[in-house]
Amino acid sequence: MADLLAGFAVFLIIEGLVYALAPRFLVQMARLLPGIPPEQLRLVGLVAVTFGVGLFWLVRG
């Protein structure tokens, strides 16, 4: 449970840094998202999940 909370804390730190350091970039990206096909968004999401699982496996392995 502690690892899950630590992971969530890291997520919040990274997310907060994006909002704090690059709010214009975030708004610009939000405007671009509706124009990206759902299949491409899904592929990017799956690649991110795969990379995250692989990185987690390497770190915790």
Is 36 in contact with 29 (CB distance < 8 Å)?
no
Q: How many domains does the chain have?
A: 1
Residue 56 confidence (pLDDT): 86
Confidence of residue 61 (pLDDT cuts 50, 70, 90): confident
Q: What is the pLDDT of residue 42?
A: 97
The residue segments making up the domain with residue 38 are 2-60
Per-residue pLDDT band at 39 (split at 50, 70, 90): very high
Q: Is the distance from CB of 21 to CB of 28 less than 8 angstroms?
A: no
